[in-house]
Chain A
Amino acid sequence: MTDVETLVPRETPPDRPAKTVKRRNGWQVVWSNGKARTGIVILALFVAVAVCAPVIAPFDPKNSTLPAGLQPGGAYLLGTTNLGQDIFSQLVYGAQVSLIVGLLAGVVVTMIALVIGLVAGLLQGVVDEILSFSINLALVVPALPLMVTIAAYSPVHGLSLIIFVIALTGWAWGARMKRAQVLLLRSQDFVTAARFSGDGLWRIVFRELVPNMVSLVVAGFMGAAIGAIGAEAGLSFLGLGDPTTVSWGSMSYWANSNGAMLTGQWAWLLAPGLALSLLITALTLINFGIDALSNPQLREE
């Protein structure tokens, strides 16, 4: 037994020194942030409610054979609509729509933004000029009026239409951020080193650039999801959503058009708005942890 062997634990290969600083993966960084942890717990609750909706909801949300216009309390926790639907069951099922729209539209928007940001950042000259111009155009064109105009022309009004218009109007901000990040990264030494060692374009993109953009992509996804959930609620509130799906936006639409507040069905109007607010709060809180991914100064040890 030499002195060196006692210093180096057996598990560690001799060519690699023992780490003094414990490295943590992305999930651990986010989870160690108190705000983000709260957000993740709330989001997990929403997901659980959405998945177990058939078990949790006492009634079918579209079943309109219950006593109509009941105020909150009793067997109907939040009362019933003027058509005789259980509001609590609608609230539970509404979580599904918001989460699905947030997830799908978030993914689509993030993918579009990533591809356009990468291409614009990597290719200089005419392609970049055209893409940057499109980004700036999409940033300034008023989003909700554009969504509304496209939705008004569409013959079908479903969730896919809503996701489509959100994707069409929502990608620009993320694309601009990602283009700026690519421009910053491509001038860094490690990219130059990779290029000089003979790495091809694709290898540089996927081994050097994309791994350094993970936190930006995740943060972009969260932002897009928040925007999409809000946009779905707004469009449904304006009556441009799918009239047959039960979402928090469409609940607010019916509650408002039936004067829920005046008839004492206050929960009909209050509950969907507060549910939306809580879900968006959860996502905003998670974003604090994601910021800590890219900025180590924000980490909580």
Chain B
Amino acid sequence: MLYFLRKTGLFVLTLWAAVTLNFLIPRLQPGDPAEAIVQKLAGQAQQVDPEQIRAIRLMLGVPDTSLWNQYWDYLNALIHGDFGLSYGYFPYSVTHMIAEALPYTLTLVGVTQIIAFVAGTSLGAWAAWRRNTKIDSFISLGSTFLSTLPFFWIALMLIYVLANTLHWFPEGGAYSGEIVPAFSSGFVADLAYHAVLPALALLITGSIGWILGMRNNMVQSLGSDYTRLAVAKGLRERRVAWTYAARIALLPNFTGFAISLGGVFGGTLIVEQIFSYPGMGKLMYDAIGNRDFPLLQAIFLITTVAVLLANFLADVLVGVLDPRVRRQSS
């Protein structure tokens, strides 16, 4: 019980720190940030709308008041889910833009990461079980080679080979222009068809870590006494590999899965930009180009909170699965 209480306390504290970090980033610059942003917008020969200035003030608080008051206003707005108005997609609110983009990224990341996790850990376990064979060196060396390739480069090659040259898949977008978005089987199939290439890019890079990590863990657990006992008992090979060695080797990967989500969002930032896929990553990329600071900050905050939440859940899950962890902290 102490373990779960401690983890919950840590989660709340980390959440607070992340929210505060998000508050501090725009204020690290010298001078009045709201003024600087207005200047930048004006510099782009744009008419600065009073509503936009209001949005900036909403995001940054009234600069005349103390930092403490600004912080208070910021927290208050956050609790009400008020992220202000987007500059780039004015007059839409930041919340509206995120609500549009979030389902795409959640589906893309959710599906690919679960497949990558299952496929990667299975491949890693297999390589460890058949270690020092051709299968092992093919899997280990292949994934090591892929891990040295820049992420954006893999995505670009996928477009070039599978979209531009072979024309198997579309180059980008989330659905065809002529199809009206609706909950029909045709539209869902079209969505899936467009998601294949970005998903493949995330899948290739996402599974490498699991393959190499699981192989290492599994090699260790294969050398341990309980595995040897299982072999000595005369259990079948397959049973020893999966229910003895792999089960223990899997535990560190649960925590790793949650930590990796932060990196995965970095990946979607690049992948969605390359495939012009209308998710959170593309939204963030466009927000940078538009100097859309309220949107940028809201996306950063939501991403961080999502990753923190995933880590908290992974900690709880590992606590449930592994009694040793619970005993350690009490």
A146 and B150 CA atoms in complex are apart in Å by: 19
Q: In the complex, what's the smallest C-beta–C-beta distance from B108 to chain A, in angstroms? A: 16
Interface of A is mostly: helix
A148 and B267 CA atoms in complex are apart in Å by: 13
Contacts A143-B266, A145-B265, A152-B288 hold; do A234 and B150 have CB atoms under 8 A apart?
A: yes
Does A38 count as interface, using CB distance less than 8 angstroms?
no
Please determine whether A238 and B304 come into contact, CB atoms closer than 8 angstroms. Answer: no
Please determine whether A284 and B270 come into contact, CB atoms closer than 8 angstroms. Answer: no
Please determine whether B14 and A145 come into contact, CB atoms closer than 8 angstroms. Answer: no
Please determine whether B270 and A141 come into contact, CB atoms closer than 8 angstroms. Answer: no
B13's partner among A133, A238, A278 (CB-CB below 8 A) is: A133
Chain A interface category by residue count:
35 or more
Does A18 count as interface, using CB distance less than 8 angstroms?
no
Contacts A146-B300, A149-B297 hold; do A234 and B17 have CB atoms under 8 A apart?
A: no
Please determine whether B164 and A262 come into contact, CB atoms closer than 8 angstroms. Answer: yes
Please determine whether A140 and B262 come into contact, CB atoms closer than 8 angstroms. Answer: yes
Please determine whether B25 and A150 come into contact, CB atoms closer than 8 angstroms. Answer: yes
Identity of the chain B residue whose Cβ is nearest the Cβ of A142 in the assembled complex: B262
Please determine whether B25 and A141 come into contact, CB atoms closer than 8 angstroms. Answer: no
Chain A residues positioned under 8 Å from B145 (CB to CB): 281
Identity of the chain A residue whose Cβ is nearest the Cβ of B273 in the assembled complex: A238
Chain B residues positioned under 8 Å from A269 (CB to CB): 153, 156, 160
Chain B residues positioned under 8 Å from A239 (CB to CB): 289
Does B46 count as interface, using CB distance less than 8 angstroms?
no
A234 and B151 CA atoms in complex are apart in Å by: 8
A180 and B274 CA atoms in complex are apart in Å by: 40
A249 and B21 CA atoms in complex are apart in Å by: 28
Does A273 count as interface, using CB distance less than 8 angstroms?
yes
Contacts A136-B14, A237-B152, A284-B144 hold; do A142 and B263 have CB atoms under 8 A apart?
A: yes
A140's partner among B270, B291, B311 (CB-CB below 8 A) is: B311
A176 and B160 CA atoms in complex are apart in Å by: 40
Residue tally, chain B, CB below 8 Å to A: 50
Chain B residues positioned under 8 Å from A262 (CB to CB): 164
Q: In the complex, what's the smallest C-beta–C-beta distance from A22 to chain B, in angstroms? A: 30
Does B29 count as interface, using CB distance less than 8 angstroms?
yes
Please determine whether B274 and A140 come into contact, CB atoms closer than 8 angstroms. Answer: no
A256 and B311 CA atoms in complex are apart in Å by: 35
Please determine whether B269 and A140 come into contact, CB atoms closer than 8 angstroms. Answer: no
Does A51 count as interface, using CB distance less than 8 angstroms?
no
Does B285 count as interface, using CB distance less than 8 angstroms?
yes
Chain A residues positioned under 8 Å from B150 (CB to CB): 230, 233-234, 237, 249, 252, 273, 276-277
Chain A residues positioned under 8 Å from B273 (CB to CB): 238
Please determine whether B160 and A261 come into contact, CB atoms closer than 8 angstroms. Answer: yes
- Write the A113-143 contact mask toward B (1 if CB under 8 angstroms, else 0): 0000000000000000000010011011111
Does B259 count as interface, using CB distance less than 8 angstroms?
yes
Does B139 count as interface, using CB distance less than 8 angstroms?
no
- Write the B67-91 contact mask toward A (1 if CB under 8 angstroms, else 0): 0000000000000000000000000
Does A70 count as interface, using CB distance less than 8 angstroms?
no
Chain B residues positioned under 8 Å from A137 (CB to CB): 14, 17-18
Considering the complex of A and B, which 6 residue pairs feature the smallest CB-CB distances, nearest first?
A: A144-B266, A273-B153, A142-B262, A280-B148, A152-B288, A261-B160
Chain B residues close to A by CB (< 8 Å): 10, 13-14, 17-18, 21, 25-26, 28-29, 144-145, 148-153, 156-157, 159-160, 164, 258-259, 261-263, 265-266, 269-270, 273-274, 284-285, 287-289, 291, 293, 296-297, 299-300, 303-304, 307-308, 311
